Structure 1
């Protein structure tokens, strides 16, 4: 659900070195030596839960050494080195420095971090978990000497001092507190989803200053789906078509563990979340996250009735594809994987009939994955045998718009059509630099 995640907007979230220094702290930085291995091991688990590797490890790069580019409307930023290297990483951080960066978005030297680092979510992480994470990054990660790269954002938009005011307005400090009247599993799930899991960073809509519109279930927009960096992160509320309303608890637990179930398969940034994070979580934590997510009321629907499968009209189009441009493309390029009936071969090949990503009002994810394909899901070290290929070099904008319109209307999906201009826009933004 992370997967997150990534992109920045709003001129308020811009940068210049913040002049105030981090407060003096009597504690000293971690030094090499014997660490509590149980604590380090717990920190390693929590780092997986937070999916730290997904952002802080560049493709073919060394673990946690940074360098991953993130596109923003103002320019590209590069993720930082969080290995314990003393010169280029965080080896000089005390536990207090680490906690401040993690939960308040302020580095050791006092400069503010971009909220691409999901510190508004990490603010909810409790002290014991911060301690374990610190132990892991200081004693469980190999130091890598790799200098951080400056962003491509031009002055004056690269000034960081406005983030101080952004934090005043939008950062809610304080670790998660159990909600009275809720059981242990619900509260554990809420802590994981809202905190280290930082699901809201991708799945909650953003306001004009790029702040999450809600940080927990008390806000109606929480986890209702959001557009970010060319993908539409799915609705995770109980909405019955585009959300999780038709998913059972077992469906959701299976998805978090394997990235696929009878309704959908992970793609885009969610592939990284499954690969690096949720598949490694304990069954107890997966069950807690599912219990919490399944408790969220429906938000973000379009008022349509609960989806019911109906293949008839679509079957007629596929029997006579010459009469339907979308059906022609589907027959030639899609049908062998997703089937005449649109039900695919779940969980190995995703269904299209009733798939929440197909039913979503925003078609960005469908356009993006059709253009660019998606990376392999790798479960227990085994790559998925049939990843979605990209068709950017094979199909033009109109053909992709036609086939996606066909799919969104087919099998009683009833979702809006896709225009060629939408495809062209995403083609341009996602293919740049390839």
Structure 2
């Protein structure tokens, strides 16, 4: 999608930390010792874990120079310059200043950052990793002189001091501490998911003050899925239908490295996460993340019986599509990629039968991706050959509702129907400004 996550809830989750790879012209200064270079390189890897490129680099902008707009219910904010430029970036930050901004949401001059910066997650980052991140941003990123833009939020909503009280209520300070009784891989996975990976920022429901309902597995809502800016961030618990209950460890590791597996393909904001972050994880860290996520008990879901594939009812509808408006649309626009049997051609073309995104109670992601398509997954520099196209200009609201209702009922998916009013609402909100 052309615009990054827009709602405040989306901003809370998508303001992914810091960047991806150090640009070629931002090498460690000549004369720096091997230890310094190793620290910068480790910081670069940690920054990829946080995926800061997704937020701190505007389209066609210079790396990490900011300027990306994010719409909130209060107005538009603009992501800041985090290059080491002394005047307009963070070049004047000490390591202590950097750590405070990262983990407490307070800038060098003392003003509070909007929680578009997911500092409630970064609060768990340990001192050694903060040091490495600081080294990378100061010595591994090219300085860019680009002034930060003021937000479009009007007074008095633009006042920052109330955020102090938000922090008092919802910020839990202190780096992650290993849980007794858990092995090294589980604790490493928990540290990455809860901290730099800040998965909960998108995948955990939010309360009335837009705070995450839970920050770790001790809360029942943690990673149970959440609606953000027209996308439903998937359930990452062991729930059988809409979650990861049917995914093997290998399925999950494959998805993190490539964005696709036999169950589903990444789309929407998750495309950026795969492209800029998770595909760069070491095999050891991917295994740790998978071990942690696969340990989470099932929460949420659509309340239906455990999914099992059944092609028969859908086959009858497709044999005589004139009797079903949704089947007619499916036959004309969807069947060539997703198949008569709904199983697609995974991992190149996603299945619809049993896909957790299809089975989710909230159909927002299906509506959004049908209207607007999704960006390319780019794995090891190679774009995916068959990205999902958008059909906003081809299909009207009723046609999209009909075909999605057909898909959500087909192949024993058993998910609720979609209404034309739901499609119209998302069309209006996602097409604005295109």
Please tell me the TM-score bracket, short chain as reference: over 0.9
- Kindly state the Cα deviation for residue 301 of structure 1 after the two structures are TM-superposed: 2.3
- Kindly state the Cα deviation for residue 85 of structure 1 after the two structures are TM-superposed: 0.6
**Is the 1:325–1:403 Cα contact (8 Å) retained in structure 2?**
yes
Measured in 2, the distance between the counterparts of 1:317 and 1:55 equals 44
Q: What secondary structure sits across from 1:13 in the alignment?
A: helix
1:130-165 deviations in Å (ceiling 9; x for gaps)? 000000000000001111111122222111111000
**Is the 1:408–1:415 Cα contact (8 Å) retained in structure 2?**
yes
**Is the 1:251–1:262 Cα contact (8 Å) retained in structure 2?**
yes
**Is the 2:120–2:171 Cα contact (8 Å) retained in structure 1?**
yes
**Is the 1:3–1:273 Cα contact (8 Å) retained in structure 2?**
no
Distance 1:4 1:306, change over 3 A: farther
- Kindly state the Cα deviation for residue 13 of structure 1 after the two structures are TM-superposed: 14
Q: What secondary structure sits across from 2:131 in the alignment?
A: helix
- Kindly state the Cα deviation for residue 281 of structure 1 after the two structures are TM-superposed: 0.5
Distance 1:255 1:384, change over 3 A: same
Distance 1:264 1:24, change over 3 A: closer
- Kindly state the Cα deviation for residue 189 of structure 1 after the two structures are TM-superposed: 0.2
Distance 1:3 1:226, change over 3 A: farther
Distance 1:11 1:356, change over 3 A: closer
Distance 1:24 1:169, change over 3 A: farther
Q: What secondary structure sits across from 1:227 in the alignment?
A: strand
**Is the 1:13–1:160 Cα contact (8 Å) retained in structure 2?**
no
Q: How many residues matched?
A: 434
**Is the 2:226–2:232 Cα contact (8 Å) retained in structure 1?**
yes
Measured in 2, the distance between the counterparts of 1:334 and 1:23 equals 40
Q: What secondary structure sits across from 1:35 in the alignment?
A: helix
Measured in 1, the distance between the counterparts of 2:70 and 2:164 equals 22
Measured in 2, the distance between the counterparts of 1:266 and 1:27 equals 32
Distance 1:27 1:290, change over 3 A: closer
**Is the 2:267–2:374 Cα contact (8 Å) retained in structure 1?**
yes
- Kindly state the Cα deviation for residue 86 of structure 1 after the two structures are TM-superposed: 0.7
Task: Give the unaligned 5+ runs of structure 2.
Answer: none
**Is the 2:18–2:56 Cα contact (8 Å) retained in structure 1?**
no
1:392-417 deviations in Å (ceiling 9; x for gaps)? 11111111111100100010000000
- Kindly state the Cα deviation for residue 380 of structure 1 after the two structures are TM-superposed: 0.3
Measured in 1, the distance between the counterparts of 2:2 and 2:220 equals 20
- Kindly state the Cα deviation for residue 70 of structure 1 after the two structures are TM-superposed: 1.4
Distance 1:13 1:150, change over 3 A: farther
Measured in 2, the distance between the counterparts of 1:234 and 1:159 equals 33
Q: What secondary structure sits across from 1:187 in the alignment?
A: helix
Measured in 1, the distance between the counterparts of 2:386 and 2:408 equals 22
**Is the 2:12–2:201 Cα contact (8 Å) retained in structure 1?**
no
**Is the 1:4–1:270 Cα contact (8 Å) retained in structure 2?**
no
Measured in 2, the distance between the counterparts of 1:281 and 1:233 equals 21
1:178-231 deviations in Å (ceiling 9; x for gaps)? 000000000000000000000000000000000000000000000000001110
**Is the 2:14–2:202 Cα contact (8 Å) retained in structure 1?**
no
Q: What secondary structure sits across from 2:34 in the alignment?
A: coil
Distance 1:45 1:163, change over 3 A: same
Measured in 2, the distance between the counterparts of 1:63 and 1:356 equals 34
**Is the 1:16–1:159 Cα contact (8 Å) retained in structure 2?**
no
Q: What secondary structure sits across from 1:12 in the alignment?
A: helix
- Kindly state the Cα deviation for residue 9 of structure 1 after the two structures are TM-superposed: 5.6
Measured in 2, the distance between the counterparts of 1:4 and 1:154 equals 22
